[in-house]
């Protein structure tokens, strides 16, 4: 088990390289047992004014540092994260609840992102292209936007923060980061690592507080030119509306209603493994979690039976115990939401086969636990098959053929991740073409993105931008076209091309 140090508990804003005390506080709880872990600052909008001013000043100098040198700092950050990996993983599980194996994987994702984005410091490729005029050079280059604001959720408190902050920083921006109030320790730990690595003051600023106060202040501050947000569809729409009114660039990742398709020729054992990992990892609290299983009628009963049998072996409890497979829900509000959808499913006529109840775990009676749950006889128009539940709840949907499976997958407002289990290569290529999600897996579950590929989705999942991969740089840079005429005379494009 892990014991927080007094230093780790002492949570403060990090602005202009200084740790700043905030008078107003809120309690943060361990979801495994309901115990208070610490008190987190509840900042007011003045903290954003302070952070924005420090970021604005720091960004001017930081942008002047050659990109390969900026990248060297990210290498240092990656090395420090690697050295502290186990402690970071334990802190993550303590505040978030996900099992320690998954926490280690998430921290590794941040390490990988540091090294990957550090490599971009020696690329940040622009383009050179022939000019239509003689003795004229034409090129384009990436330029930093300036000050960017990132708003991150509690379910992946370090991975998503690195997806956003690392490309922003290597591109020459300064960052103001509002982490989730549920997971403050990861934010402090990453800020400390930046500090230890030697990032200049003001390039990264961490401000704790509510979305209504701090998030709104970030969106409205004139110095912040980009908002990168991960969270709910409802909040994301509000962020997009306000940023649009102010002509700010906004990047949104807003969840999913992801499906695993199991065809009649699938490896059923492999499909069950993929479903278990996708549906019940992080207690179903992933934006890429499998919450729908679309199964061919010929193997529906076999899949259901094997899935039910495998679900019996899922151990539930404190994620710091290495024998546990499913940890707690993040808080009581999360539990209440899952319980609400259990009742909705039953009212709609779905068959609750197993689960559906809040659990009391021995020695963790005040924790927020929920049984892994399976509904069958679900139709694609039911709310439990349409709306994001964010808990360990799976709906089984039977279909007659491949085409019907594709239709069922696509008939939701989200478009983040999808998966198909089949041995038919022709179906594989049709599926990757026709599934309208930003991520497609073949013979694997709906989760497991790698940092060198773009992460994001279509429809209600986002607005076209991507986290991770080289595409993440598009959010935090502007394109500049440069023309150099060395002819010694005036040449007019489109007019003097015949000269």
Which letter, b or e, does each residue of 238-250 get, where b requires 16 or more Cβ atoms within 10 Å of its Cβ? ebbebbeeeebbb
Please write the tens of the pLDDT for every residue from 81-134.
Answer: 999 999 999 999 999 999 999 999 999 999 999 999 999 999 999 999 999 999
**CA trace torsion 210, 215, 217, 223 (10° rounding):** 140
Please write the tens of the pLDDT for every residue from 384-416.
Answer: 999 999 999 999 999 999 999 999 999 999 999
pLDDT at 67 over 70: yes
Which CA distances in Å does 411 have to 259, 347, 378, 379, 437?
Answer: 11, 21, 14, 11, 11
Banded model confidence at residue 217, pLDDT cuts 50, 70, 90: very high
Helices marked H in 400-482 — which ranges? 402-410, 425-434
> What are 158's two structure tokens?
């370090």
Torsion 447-324-373-368 (CA) sign:
negative
Annotated catalytic residue, options 102, 109, 120, 253: 253
Burial (0-12, 13-18, 19+ Cβ within 10 Å), 389: buried
Please write the tens of the pLDDT for every residue from 420-467.
Answer: 999 999 999 999 999 999 999 999 999 999 999 999 999 999 999 999
pLDDT of residue 307: 98
Q: Is 260 left (phi over 0), alpha (psi -120 to 50) or beta?
A: beta
Beta strands in 134-211 (DSSP E): 136-144, 147-151, 174-178, 204-206
pLDDT at 499 over 60: no
Lowest mean pLDDT among 43-52, 264-273, 356-365: 356-365
Mean pLDDT of the chain: 97
pLDDT of residue 362: 85
Around Cβ 64, how many Cβ atoms within 10 Å?
A: 8
Burial (0-12, 13-18, 19+ Cβ within 10 Å), 13: buried
Residue 430 CB-half CA count within 13 A: 12
Burial (0-12, 13-18, 19+ Cβ within 10 Å), 400: exposed
- At 189, give phi and psi (nearest 5°): -60, -40
Banded model confidence at residue 361, pLDDT cuts 50, 70, 90: confident
Please write the tens of the pLDDT for every residue from 14-54.
Answer: 999 999 999 999 999 999 999 999 999 999 999 999 999 99
Please write the tens of the pLDDT for every residue from 294-318.
Answer: 999 999 999 999 999 999 999 999 9
Contact status, residue 246 vs residue 388, Cβ threshold 8 Å: no
pLDDT of residue 324: 97
Helices marked H in 171-299 — which ranges? 184-197, 216-220, 233-245, 268-280
Contact status, residue 388 vs residue 355, Cβ threshold 8 Å: no
pLDDT of residue 2: 87
pLDDT of residue 498: 79
Return all residues near 192 (Cβ < 8 A) that are at least 6 apart: none
Structure pTM? 0.96
pLDDT at 290 over 70: yes
Distance of CA 496 to the CA centre of its chain: 50
Contact status, residue 117 vs residue 109, Cβ threshold 8 Å: no
Which letter, b or e, does each residue of 300-336 get, where b requires 16 or more Cβ atoms within 10 Å of its Cβ? beebbebbeebbeeeebbbbbbeebbbbbbbbeebbe
Clarify whether 304 is annotated catalytic.
no
Banded model confidence at residue 332, pLDDT cuts 50, 70, 90: very high
DSSP 326: B
Which letter, b or e, does each residue of 184-221 get, where b requires 16 or more Cβ atoms within 10 Å of its Cβ? bbbbbbbbbbbeebebbbbbbbbbbbebebbbbbbbeb
Burial (0-12, 13-18, 19+ Cβ within 10 Å), 173: buried
pLDDT of residue 107: 98
Helices marked H in 204-331 — which ranges? 216-220, 233-245, 268-280, 300-311
pLDDT at 1 over 80: no
Q: Which of 380, 448, 378 is nearest to 413 (CA)?
A: 380
Please write the tens of the pLDDT for every residue from 162-201.
Answer: 999 999 999 999 999 999 999 999 999 999 999 999 999 9
Q: Which of 332, 241, 480 is nearest to 34 (CA)?
A: 332
Return all residues near 163 (Cβ < 8 A) that are at least 6 apart: 113, 451, 455, 467, 468, 472
């Amino acid at each position: 088990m892990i014991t927080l140090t007094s230093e780790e508990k002492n949570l403060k804003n990090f602005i202009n390289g200084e740790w700043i005390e905030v008078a107003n506080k809120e309690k943060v709880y361990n979801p495994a047992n309901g115990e208070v872990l610490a008190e987190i600052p509840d900042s007011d909008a003045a903290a954003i004014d302070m952070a924005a001013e420090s970021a604005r000043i720091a960004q001017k100098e930081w942008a002047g540092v050659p990109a390969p040198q900026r990248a060297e700092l990210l290498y240092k950050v990656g090395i420090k994260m690697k050295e502290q990996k186990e402690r970071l993983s334990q802190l993550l599980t303590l505040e978030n609840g996900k099992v320690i194996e998954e926490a280690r994987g998430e921290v590794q994702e941040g390490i990988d992102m540091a090294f990957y984005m550090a490599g971009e410091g020696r690329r940040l490729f622009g383009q050179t292209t022939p000019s239509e005029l003689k003795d004229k050079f034409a090129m384009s280059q990436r330029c930093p936007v300036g000050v960017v604001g990132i708003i991150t959720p509690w379910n992946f408190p370090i991975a998503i923060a690195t997806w956003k902050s690392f490309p922003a920083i290597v591109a020459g921006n300064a960052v103001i980061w509002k982490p989730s109030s549920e997971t403050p320790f990861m934010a402090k730990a990453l800020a400390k690592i930046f500090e230890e690595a030697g990032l200049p003051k003001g390039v990264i600023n961490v401000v704790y507080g509510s979305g209504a106060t701090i998030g709104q202040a970030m969106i409205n501050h004139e110095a912040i030119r980009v908002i990168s947000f991960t969270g709910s569809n409802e909040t994301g729409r509000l962020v997009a509306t306000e940023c649009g009114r102010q002509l700010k660039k906004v990047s949104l990742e807003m969840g999913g209603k992801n499906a695993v398709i199991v065809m009649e020729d699938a490896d059923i054992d492999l499909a069950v493994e993929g479903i278990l990992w996708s549906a019940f990892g992080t207690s179903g609290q992933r934006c890429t979690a499998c919450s729908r299983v679309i199964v061919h009628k010929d193997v529906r009963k076999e899949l259901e039976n094997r899935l039910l049998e495998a679900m019996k072996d899922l151990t539930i409890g404190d994620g710091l115990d290495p024998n546990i497979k499913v940890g707690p829900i993040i808080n009581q509000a999360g539990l209440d939401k899952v319980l609400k959808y259990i009742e909705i499913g039953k009212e709609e006529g779905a068959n609750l086969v197993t689960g559906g109840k809040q659990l009391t775990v021995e020695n963790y009676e005040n924790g927020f636990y929920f049984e892994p749950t399976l509904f069958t006889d679900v139709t694609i128009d039911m709310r439990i098959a349409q709306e994001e539940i964010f808990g360990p709840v799976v709906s089984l949907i039977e279909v007659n053929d491949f085409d019907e499976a594709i239709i069922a997958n696509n008939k939701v407002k989200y478009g983040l991740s999808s998966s198909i289990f089949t041995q038919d290569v022709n179906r594989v290529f049709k599926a990757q073409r026709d599934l309208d999600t930003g991520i497609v897996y073949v013979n694997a579950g709906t989760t497991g993105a790698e940092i060198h590929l773009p992460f994001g989705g279509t429809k209600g999942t986002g607005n076209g931008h991507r986290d991770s991969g080289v595409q993440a740089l598009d959010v935090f840079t502007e394109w500049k076209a440069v023309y150099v005429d060395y002819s010694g005379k005036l040449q007019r494009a489109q007019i003097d091309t015949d000269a």
